[in-house]
Amino acid sequence: MTCPGFRFAGVAAGIKKKGGLDVGLIAADAPAAAAAVFTGNRVKAAPVVLSAAALRAAKGKLRGVVVNSGNANACTGKAGMADAKAMAAAAAAVMGAKPGQLLVASTGVIGEPLPMDRVGAGIAAAGAALSPGGWDDFARAILTTDKRPKTATCTVRLGRENVTILGCTKGAGMIAPNMATTLTFLVTDANVAPPALARATRAAVAPSYNAIAVDGDTSTNDTLALLASGVTGGAVGGKALAAFTEALTDVCHDLATQLMRDGEGVHHVVTIEVRGAPTERAALTVARRIATSPLVKTAIAGGDPNWGRILCAAGNAGVPFDPTRVALALADVAVVAKGTVAPGYDEARAAAVMREPAYTMTLDLGAGRASARFLACDLSHEYVSINADYRS
């Protein structure tokens, strides 16, 4: 896969203990419009702090991205910030750009200093390997405990031209030994100005990356970035911008869903749909609370249509509703009506739905017209094994 205006590379630099590609580069041939979303955690890794500042200072025009996996450069003090800056400088050198035009991202173990000799050699090697067809290598270089690479692509017609969106993501469901990170990189050849690109990115992230949870924790390194080379077609605005935003949202939803499916110990990905809420925000709050309840997540793991746990979790969301008006369905099986067990409820059918790898749980609060969706997964023995039986 290629995207006009960009070259990519991924190389093995010996940072990951188990080996494999661990340094990646995205290089734009010329300054590209850029937008990014960073972790909301108060404890931000050095590359996140550096990249957010660079994006602001460069007024949304960047030349590329440099990423390493195997070490998160988080909780590493002043030396960590110096290392992140050195990564930006090394990547800028191989691209003929300025250090302030680079976005830096890291993922892997935390609290350990980056092996800068290996990182530096890796960036030099990646610079030499940059090519328009290097996307798959880049997508592999960002992985840590992921079971497989996760990419998505979309072609969308904007006016007279077809533009491409390429995306890749990593994260074993936000959960991994030593804390995983969600990293997502997207490129497009569409001609979108930085302010519009920022709006499109926020709009695409809200119902995708901001509506999934494996465990509810946000890492110190989470980064999603989009570069637009603008080499194809005229300036995107109006209806074309809406179409672009919709396509970008689809790509993000595809990637976020892949991320959930690849989550450690995940056997079921469940769409929690909350309807009949007073506001969309209230619907999302209730859906998130259900999705992160350990009681609901263990019920999903066990395939147990324990509807009391779902109503209980909804009641803990802090959103006002009348419990006697609530309805719940698992796929097309009516489970709860008016706050109690539905007439003719068939538990065997409900249990059969919960044996599926993916299904929808629909809760109608009977308190309005707004709705929202959130992706949940099971809390399984594998989750505990991966995160408890492991010693750092």
Q: Please give the distance of CA 357 from its chain centroid, rounded to a whole number.
A: 20
Nearer to a second copy, 155 or 392 (CB): 392
What is the tally of helices (H) and strands (E) in the chain? 11, 14
User: In whole angstroms, what is the distance from residue 258 CA to residue 217 CA?
Assistant: 18
Nearer to a second copy, 56 or 78 (CB): 78
Q: Which residue reads 């250090």 in tokens?
A: 99
Q: Residue 51 Cβ, how far from a second copy at the closest point, in Å?
A: 17
Give the chain's length. 392
Residue 184's beta-bridge partner residues? 169, 224
Q: Residue 199 Cβ, how far from a second copy at the closest point, in Å?
A: 25
Interior CA angle at 106 toward 91 and 84, to 5°? 50
| Two structure tokens written together for 338 | 């008016």
Q: Residue 40 Cβ, how far from a second copy at the closest point, in Å?
A: 8
Residue type present at position 307: W
> Looking at 181, 223, 245, 362, which residue is catalytic?
181
Q: Is the dihedral of CA 42, 21, 134, 261 positive or negative?
A: negative
Burial of 287 (0-12, 13-18, 19+ CB in 10 A): buried
| Two structure tokens written together for 388 | 């408890």
**Strand 150-158 and strand 23-38: pairing?**
unpaired
Nearer to a second copy, 117 or 217 (CB): 217
Q: Residue 29 Cβ, how far from a second copy at the closest point, in Å?
A: 37
Nearer to a second copy, 207 or 339 (CB): 339
Q: Residue 45 Cβ, how far from a second copy at the closest point, in Å?
A: 10
User: In whole angstroms, what is the distance from residue 228 CA to residue 130 CA?
Assistant: 18
User: In whole angstroms, what is the distance from residue 148 CA to residue 268 CA?
Assistant: 17
Write out the H or E segment, with its range, that includes residue 377. strand 370-377
Nearer to a second copy, 77 or 133 (CB): 77
Nearer to a second copy, 162 or 340 (CB): 340
Q: Residue 378 Cβ, how far from a second copy at the closest point, in Å?
A: 8
Nearer to a second copy, 76 or 232 (CB): 76
Q: Residue 181 catalytic?
A: yes
**Roughly what angle, to the nearest 10 degrees, separates helices 116-129 and 77-95?**
20
Q: Residue 312 Cβ, how far from a second copy at the closest point, in Å?
A: 6
Q: Footprint of a second copy on this chain (CB under 8 A)?
A: 40-44, 74-77, 80, 110-111, 175, 178-179, 215-220, 293-295, 298-299, 301-309, 311-317, 319-321, 323-324, 326, 336, 338-341, 351, 378-381, 383-385, 387-392
- Residue 266 and residue 260 in contact, taking contact as beta carbons nearer than 8 Å: yes
Give catalytic residues, as residue numbers.
Answer: 181
